[in-house]
Amino acid sequence: MAVSTMTPTGKLAYEFGNRRLPLQVLQSGRGFYLGTADDGGPVSRESAEYWPTYDEAEGALDKGPDAWTQRDEP
Which long-range contacts does 32-35 make (Cβ < 8 Å, 24+ apart)?
32/56, 32/57, 33/57, 34/60, 34/61, 34/68, 35/10
Indicate whether this model's pTM tops 0.95: no
Q: How confident is the model over 13-69, as pLDDT tens digits?
A: 999 999 999 999 999 999 999 999 999 999 999 999 999 999 999 999 999 999 999
* Under 8 Å between Cβ of 47 and 30: no
* Under 8 Å between Cβ of 74 and 56: no
**Residue 28 to residue 23: CA distance in whole angstroms:** 15
Query: Structural domain boundaries of the chain?
Result: 28-74
